[in-house]
């Protein structure tokens, strides 16, 4: 898979660990910046990653800011982007499997590189199971989320 990755200045310290984790999981990162610890605005990187997912240039995305909260809020404003803030491996995998999450948000000031790597592994190895036999209730719930998105 191609994975769009974006960082603000607070997320920048985790950049190399994230890029390496994506590659180690057998995927291709698309680096959308930032490229330094100079202050930038996280919504700009949330948009870059979200648009790459929307356009199909990336199947999934990873965003890293200070807490992960702001990047997650901004990303979820984009139609078709299902971003989740995860600081545990259960949520990183479950968000994909049950909720069709396509963007993982992390807080660089909350977690360190070792946990980030584990979260990325869990996120990238998970797959949505709502389209499989027995996944009807999951698909029904995701359809309701998409309906909310359409209604604005």
Catalytic residue among 9, 65, 86, 105: 65
Beta strands 83-85; 28-31: pairing state: unpaired
Question: What 3-state DSSP class applies to 91?
Answer: helix
Beta carbons within 10 angstroms of residue 151's beta carbon: 6
> Is the CB of residue 99 less than 8 Å from the CB of residue 144?
no
The verdict on whether 65 is a catalytic residue reads yes
What's the rounded Cα separation, in Å, for the pair 146 and 152?
A: 10
d(CA 6, CA 27): 15
Catalytic site residue from 27, 87, 98, 105:
98
Q: What positions carry a catalytic annotation?
A: 65, 98
């Amino acid at each position: 898979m191609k994975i769009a990755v974006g960082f603000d200045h607070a997320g920048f310290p985790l950049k190399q660990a994230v890029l390496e984790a994506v590659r180690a999981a057998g995927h291709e990162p698309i680096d959308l910046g930032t490229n330094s610890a100079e202050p930038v605005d996280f919504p700009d990187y949330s948009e870059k990653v979200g648009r790459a997912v929307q356009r199909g240039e990336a199947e999934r995305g990873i965003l890293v800011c200070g807490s992960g909260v702001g990047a997650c809020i901004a990303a979820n404003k984009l139609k078709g982007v299902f971003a989740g803030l995860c600081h545990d491996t259960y949520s990183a995998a479950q968000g994909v499997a049950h909720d069709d999450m396509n963007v993982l948000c992390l807080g660089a000031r909350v977690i360190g590189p070792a946990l980030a790597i584990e979260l990325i592994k869990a996120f990238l190895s998970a797959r949505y199971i709502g389209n499989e036999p027995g996944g009807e209730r999951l698909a029904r719930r995701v359809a309701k989320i998409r309906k909310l998105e359409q209604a604005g």
